[in-house]
Structure 1
Amino acid sequence: MKKVLLVFLLGGLCNGLAGQTDSTSLNLQEVIIQENRIQIPFSKQSRNISVITKPQLETTPARSLQEVLAFVPGVDVRQRGVTGVQADIGIRGGSFNQTLMLLNGIKLTDPQTGHHMMNIPVPMLNIDRVEVLKGPGSRIFGQNAYAGAVNIITELSPTRNLRLQGYGGDFAMRGIAFTGSLPIDNYRQNLSVSFDESAGHWYNSDYQVSNLFYEGGLKLNEFHSLRGMAAYTERSFGANGFYTSTFPDQWESLQTSLGALSHTYSGTQWNINTRAYWRKNEDEYRLRRNEPEFFQNFHTSNTYAVELNAVYESKIGSTGFGLEYRKEVIESNNLGNHDRTLAGVFLEQLVNIGEKADLRAGVYSNYFNEFGWKHFPGAEIGYQATEALRLYTGYGKSFRIPTYTDLFYVGPTNIGNSELAPEQAQNFEIGAKWLKNGFFAELVYFHRNTDNLIEWTRTDANNPWQPQNFNEVKFNGLEAAITYRVNSGIASIKLKEMMVSYNFIDANLVERPGFETRYALAALRHQLIGGFLVGIGPKLEWNLKMRYVERFSLDPYLLLDSRLDYNRSGKVGVFAEASNISNTDYIEAGTVQMPGRWFRMGFMLNLD
C-alpha cells in the first residue's frame, strides 16, 4: 500500500494536472461563490470549496458531469456503467443521500431516492462552472446538504454563438450535443440539446440519455431582472447488478422535468431574489427487463417550492436572510401515495473583525410536518494572515430527512422502515489555504459525528436490507491539494496546469451486534488524484489524469485517463479520449464490473 501511494504520488506530480486552463480560464481570486444569500469571493471563503471551470469541463477525459466530479478531491463518485449513466455522489465519506445537488441554487433533491440525484437536465456544453462545497451545508442550503453540496452554474451569453459537438467510441457509444445563444436587446437566451447512447460494456448495460434545456433572462431596468428556465431529461438503461446482483436483467427508465422563474432586485444596499420552481421525476423500474409482470415499480414524484433570499449591506457587514416552502408529493404502486411539507428560515451575518479577521455565523430553522421544528446553527472564522495565506475554522450542524424509499419500499431484497427519524451530525473543520500567482494549496482536517445515522442493515444474507437509525458513527478526515497554473515552457511546449491531491478518511462505526451494514463503511479511505495539462504548439492540448481510490469495503484501484484536443477554441476542433488506459479490473458500486480500456473520438464546431 505505501509503495503504491509513493509511486502514484511521484507520478501525480508529473502527471498530475487536473488542469484545464487556458486564456479563458477563471482567476480563482475573482470567482464569486454562488450561494443563495451572502456571496463571497473564493479567496475569502472560510470553507473547503472546489471550483471546476469551463476549460476544465471541456478538457477532462469525460462524457458526463459524473465522470468530471470523479477528479475532484474529496468527492466519491460510484458509477454503475460507462459515462455514469447511473452514479451516486458522496462527499467526505457521506452517502448519495447526504449530498445536495443544485442547479443555479435550485435544489434537485428527489424525495423518492438519492439514486436520482444526477438526473441533471443540462448538457455538459451549457455548464459554465461547478462549485463543490465540502462539509455541512444545511445552514446555507437547507436540508440534505449533510456532508456537502454541488452547485451547477449556467450563464447567459451576451453574444450570439453556436456550438456543436459529436463523438463515437467503444461499446457502440455515440452522442451529439448542441447549444446556442441568441440575445435580443435586453433579453438573453440559451437553448441546449444533447443525445447519448451506447450498447453497454457488458450484458444488459445499454443506455440512452436525452437532454433539453432552455434558459432566458430579461434585464427590466437598472435594478430589476427576470430569469427563467425549462428543462427535461430522459434516460433508460439496462441495470445489470445496479441495485442487486440477484437479478442481472434489471431495467429502469426515468424522465425528469424542471421549471423555474425568478426575480432579482439589486440595489446599493439590498439584493433580493425570489423564485418558484417545480421538479417532476417519473421512474419505471423492472426487476426483469422483458417480464414486467414479475416485478415492476412506477413512481412519480413532484416537488413544488418557493424561496425568498436577501442580503442587506450595512456598517456592521452583510446580513443574509431567507424563507423557503416545499411540498413533496409521490404516487407509487410500491411506496404508496404520500405528501409532506417542509418550510425553512435562514439568518446569517458576516462581520469583519479588525483588518484581517472575519466571522460568518447563522442558523437555519426547518419545519417538517412530521417532526416539527429543528434548528441547525453554524459559523466560520477566517484570518487573513498574509495577502496569500488564509487560516480558517468552522462548526456546523447538518441533517437530512429520510427518502420515501427509506420509509416505505417493499421488494425482494429491500424493505423500508416507516419509523425512521431524520439524521443529524455535528461537524468541525480547521484549515489553511494559499492562493498567489497561479499557485493554490489547501490543507484541511475535518470531524463529523452522527448519533442517528440512517443506514441499511440486515441480520444475515437470507434477510432483506432495511434502514435503521444507527447509534453512532464518527468520521475524521484530512484533505490536501496543490494546484499550479504556470503556462510556461519552451515556445512549442507549455505546461499549463498541474495538480495533486490526497484525501484520507477514518470512519468509526459503532456496530450493533448481529447487524451487517450496507453503506456506512463503503466510503473512501484513501483518494489520490493527479493530473497535468500541456500545450503543444498553438493548437494541441494534452491532458493526463490519474486517480487511486481505496474504499473501506472494496478492492483499491488505480486509473489513468487521457485526452488530446486540437484547436479546441477554434471554429473546428477534434478530440480523442482514453479511459482506464491501465486496463484495471475494478468495481465502484455494488457488483457492477467497470470496463477495461476504452476510447472515444469526436469533433467540435464553434461559430459566433
Structure 2
Amino acid sequence: MTQYLKKTAVILGLLGCGPALAQEDTKAIPLGEVVITENRMQLPFDKQNRNIQVIDRQQIDAMPAQSINELLSHVGGVDLRQRGPFGTQADVSIDGGSFEQTLILVNGVKVLDAQTAHNSLNLPIPTDAIERIEIIRGPAARIYGINSLTGAINIVTRKPAESGISGNIYVGSGFKRDTANNNALFNGRGVQLGATLASKAGRHSIYGSHESGNGYRYNTPFRNNKVFYQGEVPTGGKDVLSIMGGYVSNGFGANGFYAAPGDKESREIVQNILAAIGYRSQLADRLSLSPQVSYRYGYDDYRYFRHDLSRARSQHHSHAINTEVNATLQTGAGDIGIGLEMRNEIIRSSNIGNHDRSNFGLYAEFKTEEIKRVLLNAGAYINYNSDYGWQLFPGIDLGYQLSEHWKLVAHTGMGQRIPSFTDLYLDQRPGNIGNPVLQSENSWHAEGGVKYADNRTIAHLSYFYRNMNDFIDWVRLSEDDPWQPHNFQQNRTHGLSFSANYRMSAPQSGVKWLAGLAYTWLSPTFDDSNNAGFLSKYVIESLRHQIVANLQLSAGSLSATAAARFNERISYKSYFVGDARISYRFHAASLYLDVKNIFDVTYIEAAAVPMPGRWFGLGIKYGIAD
C-alpha cells in the first residue's frame, strides 16, 4: 500500500490540475503503471519526460463537472473557452496556442475536424464512459502527426473489468428567470446510463446520455444526445480486435456565439459519427503490429435566423478516413517504433464549397534506458500533404534521474498545423471570408524542467520557448471589413509552469486532506497583425496568467472538493471562479451537490458570451457489478 500511495502521489504532483483522489480504490491500477496512449512506443506515465498531465477516473468523480469541457477547465496550462455551459460549444488551446493548434483524440484515434476546430470537443462520449484524459503539452507531431502544434488531448474510455450497470441523474438551476419567455426558470437536466460485459470472450461497454434545458439566458436552450460503444475481443494469444463507435447530436441556441449582437436569434446543430476498428498482434516475442482504420463524419448546421431558414443558413458535411499501421521492435539497445498513416478529408458545404485533400505520414522512434540514469526517446515524423508538399518534424525527450526524488527533464521538437477548410475557403460575407493562399503553420518548441516526488510532497517546474512561423490570425482593417485569415511571420512565446501537490494527512489517516496548486505564465510576442494595422480576432485573447487550485477532504463515505481558477488574458478582464462538490456514498449509490461559480462572478471566456452566474446542481449515481 505504501508503494501504491507513493506512485499515486508522484503522478498527482505531475498533474497540476484538479482535485486529487476522492478515496482509496483498492481495485484501481496505480497511475504510475498506466501507459500513455501513444500508438507505437509504450511508456508508463511515471517514466515520461514530456510535460504530460492526466485526469483520472477518481478525479472525474470528484470534480464539480458534468462535461469534458468543464473537466478541462480545471487543468493548468489548458485554456478552455466556453461559449456556453453544459458542453454545448467550447474552444480548447494549450499554453497560449490557438484552438486550431490542439489535436483531440479518442483512444489514440484522431477526431480532427477539418471544417473547423470549433467542433473538436463535440464528442459522443458521456463523462461516465471516460477512464482518464491525457494532456500532452508542447508539439506532438512525432507522436500523433499533423495539427498537434501546441499539444494534444487524448480521451481514454473505460475498459470494464467486470459486468455491471450504472446510472447518473442530475438537475441544475441558477434560480433566475427568463423574463422574455413566460418568466420560466432557467434550468438544465441530464441522465447517463451505462452497461458493461466482461468475460473470457471479450470486454464490451455501451454508454448513452441525454441532456437538455432552457439554458441560462435568452436563446440558450440545448439538447444533447450521445451514444458510445467500445469492445475488445481476444483472437488468440495476446492478439486483440478492438471496435469503437459513437454518435452525438448537439443542438443549442447560439446567442452571441459568433457574430454578436446580430446573432441574437441564431441556432446551431452539430452532429458527429466516430467509428474505428483496430487489431493488435504480437507477431513475435519482441515484435508487435497494430493496424487501424477510423472514420469521422461531421454535420454542422448554423442558422443565423432560427425562425427563417431561407436566408443566412450554413450547412457543412465533412468526412475523414484515416488508416494507419504501427509496429514496435524490442532490441538489446532499445525499442524501435515505426508507423505509416494515410488520411483523406472531404467537405461538401453551402458556403465553403466542395473540397478534398490527402495526407501521408511516416513515423520513426527510438527509446532506450541503457544509459545509466538516462531515459532517451527520439524520433521524427515525415509528412506529405496534397496541398502543402513534404515536411519533416523531429523531436527528442530526455530525462536524467538525479536521485531517488529529483529528476531533470528536457524536450524539443517541431509541429505543424494545416489550415482548416474554413480558413481557406469560407464565404460568409459580409462577416467572414477565407484565404485560399494560406500556408501551414510551423513551430519549434524547447522545454526544460525539474521534478520532485516523495511520499507526501511533489512539485514540477518547467520553462519553455516556442517560435511559431507563418502564424494564422483572423484580421480586418476596420469594423466595416470582413474577417479574413492571413499568415503573419512569427509568434514567439515564453512560458513558465509550476505545479505542486501536498498530502496534508498521513496515508493511514481516516481523514484525508489533499491540496494542489498550479501556475502558468505566458509571454507572447507577435510580428504582428497589430503592427500591420490590423484588428486581431484571436491573438489578443490568449492567457497571460493562470492559477488553478484545489483542496479535498475525504472522510469515510463523505468527500468534499473545492476548486478555483484565476485567468488573466492579454485583452479581457481577469476573473476568479470557484466551484465545489460535496458527495456522500451509501451502498451502491452516491448523492452529490455541486455549486458552480460560488461567488456569482460575471465573466466572459469567448466572444460576447457571458457565462452563467452561481449555479446549483444535484445528482445521484448508482452502479452495480457482478
CA distance in 1, matches of 2:210, 2:618: 16
Compute the displacement of 1:183 (Å). Answer: 2.4
CA distance in 2, matches of 1:358, 1:490: 34
Counterpart contact for 2:82–2:606, Cα < 8 Å:
yes
Q: Which moved more, 1:291-300 or 1:399-408?
A: 291-300
Aligned match of 1:198: 213
Read off the aligned partner of 2:272 and give its amino acid letter. T
Counterpart contact for 1:507–1:521, Cα < 8 Å:
no
Aligned match of 2:319: 302
Map residues 225-264 of structure 1 onto 2, 5 A cutoff. Answer: 225-245=240-260, 246-264=262-280
Counterpart contact for 1:21–1:485, Cα < 8 Å:
no
Aligned match of 1:40: 43
- 2:427 aligned residue (410, 415, 419): 410
Aligned match of 2:238: 223
Compute the displacement of 1:486 (Å). Answer: 5.3
Read off the aligned partner of 2:140 and give its amino acid letter. G
Map residues 59-208 of structure 1 onto 2, 5 A cutoff. Answer: 59-170=62-173, 171-208=186-223
Change (3 A) 1:445 1:212: same
**Other structure's SS at 2:422 match:** helix
Read off the aligned partner of 2:484 and give its amino acid letter. Q
Map residues 573-588 of structure 1 onto 2, 5 A cutoff. Answer: 573-588=590-605
Compute the displacement of 1:388 (Å). Answer: 2.3
Cα deviation, 1:143-197, whole Å, max 9, x if unaligned, reads: 0001000011113213111110000111321000011101243221001000111
Q: Which moved more, 1:150-159 or 1:423-432?
A: 150-159
Q: Does 1:437 align with 2:438?
A: no
Read off the aligned partner of 1:341 and give its amino acid letter. S
**Other structure's SS at 2:86 match:** helix
Compute the displacement of 1:304 (Å). Answer: 0.6
CA distance in 1, matches of 2:84, 2:133: 23
Change (3 A) 1:93 1:350: same
Compute the displacement of 1:410 (Å). Answer: 1.3
Q: Which moved more, 1:504-513 or 1:138-147?
A: 504-513
Q: Which moved more, 1:338-347 or 1:217-226?
A: 217-226
Aligned match of 2:443: 425
Counterpart contact for 2:104–2:152, Cα < 8 Å:
yes
Q: Does 1:533 align with 2:552?
A: yes
CA distance in 2, matches of 1:352, 1:458: 52
Read off the aligned partner of 1:272 and give its amino acid letter. L
Cα deviation, 1:578-603, whole Å, max 9, x if unaligned, reads: 00001111000000011110100011
**Other structure's SS at 2:541 match:** coil
Compute the displacement of 1:233 (Å). Answer: 0.5
CA distance in 1, matches of 2:47, 2:382: 26
**Other structure's SS at 1:56 match:** helix
- 1:599 aligned residue (602, 605, 616): 616
Q: Give me the identity figure in percent.
A: 35
Q: Does 1:564 align with 2:582?
A: yes
Counterpart contact for 1:353–1:359, Cα < 8 Å:
no
CA distance in 1, matches of 2:502, 2:201: 39
CA distance in 1, matches of 2:460, 2:168: 35
- 1:472 aligned residue (490, 510, 520): 490
CA distance in 1, matches of 2:537, 2:165: 46
**Other structure's SS at 1:121 match:** coil
Q: Does 1:344 align with 2:347?
A: no
Read off the aligned partner of 2:171 and give its amino acid letter. G
Aligned match of 2:534: 515
Compute the displacement of 1:83 (Å). Answer: 2.4
Map residues 478-517 of structure 1 onto 2, 5 A cutoff. Answer: 478-485=496-503, 488=506, 493-495=511-513, 497-511=514-528, 512-517=531-536
Q: Which moved more, 1:88-97 or 1:151-160?
A: 151-160
Counterpart contact for 2:18–2:59, Cα < 8 Å:
no
Aligned match of 1:6: none
CA distance in 1, matches of 2:471, 2:29: 39
Read off the aligned partner of 1:526 and give its amino acid letter. H
Aligned match of 1:265: 281
CA distance in 1, matches of 2:466, 2:359: 25
Q: Does 1:394 align with 2:411?
A: yes
Cα deviation, 1:262-283, whole Å, max 9, x if unaligned, reads: 0001342112211101000011
**Other structure's SS at 1:40 match:** coil
Read off the aligned partner of 1:322 and give its amino acid letter. G
Compute the displacement of 1:491 (Å). Answer: 6.5
**Other structure's SS at 2:208 match:** strand
Read off the aligned partner of 1:217 and give its amino acid letter. E
Cα deviation, 1:259-303, whole Å, max 9, x if unaligned, reads: 111000134211221110100001111111111212001100000
Counterpart contact for 2:500–2:518, Cα < 8 Å:
yes
CA distance in 2, matches of 1:493, 1:185: 39
Read off the aligned partner of 1:233 and give its amino acid letter. V
Aligned match of 2:471: 453
CA distance in 2, matches of 1:581, 1:92: 27
Counterpart contact for 2:380–2:392, Cα < 8 Å:
yes
Counterpart contact for 2:211–2:223, Cα < 8 Å:
yes
Aligned match of 1:5: none
Change (3 A) 1:295 1:509: same
Compute the displacement of 1:432 (Å). Answer: 1.2
CA distance in 2, matches of 1:112, 1:487: 49
**Other structure's SS at 1:80 match:** strand
**Other structure's SS at 1:179 match:** strand
Cα deviation, 1:495-553, whole Å, max 9, x if unaligned, reads: 1x2100100000101224211111122111100011011013x2110000011110111
Q: Does 1:23 align with 2:20?
A: no
**Other structure's SS at 1:564 match:** strand
Change (3 A) 1:19 1:110: same
Read off the aligned partner of 2:85 and give its amino acid letter. V
Read off the aligned partner of 1:585 and give its amino acid letter. T
Aligned match of 1:10: none
Counterpart contact for 2:334–2:370, Cα < 8 Å:
no
Compute the displacement of 1:30 (Å). Answer: 2.1
- 2:563 aligned residue (542, 545, 557): 545
Read off the aligned partner of 2:403 and give its amino acid letter. T
CA distance in 2, matches of 1:249, 1:332: 22
What value does the CA root-mean-square deviation take over the aligned residues? 1.5
CA distance in 1, matches of 2:307, 2:559: 46
Q: Which moved more, 1:482-491 or 1:45-54?
A: 482-491
- 1:379 aligned residue (389, 393, 396): 396
Aligned match of 1:3: none
CA distance in 2, matches of 1:354, 1:344: 30
CA distance in 1, matches of 2:101, 2:140: 10
Counterpart contact for 1:26–1:53, Cα < 8 Å:
no
CA distance in 1, matches of 2:471, 2:18: 37
**Other structure's SS at 1:175 match:** strand
Compute the displacement of 1:307 (Å). Answer: 0.6
Counterpart contact for 1:17–1:533, Cα < 8 Å:
no
CA distance in 1, matches of 2:483, 2:23: 49
- The TM-score with structure 1 as length reference comes to 0.95
Counterpart contact for 1:20–1:543, Cα < 8 Å:
no
CA distance in 1, matches of 2:276, 2:231: 11
Read off the aligned partner of 2:540 and give its amino acid letter. L
Counterpart contact for 2:130–2:155, Cα < 8 Å:
yes
Q: Which moved more, 1:134-143 or 1:242-251?
A: 242-251
**Other structure's SS at 1:593 match:** coil
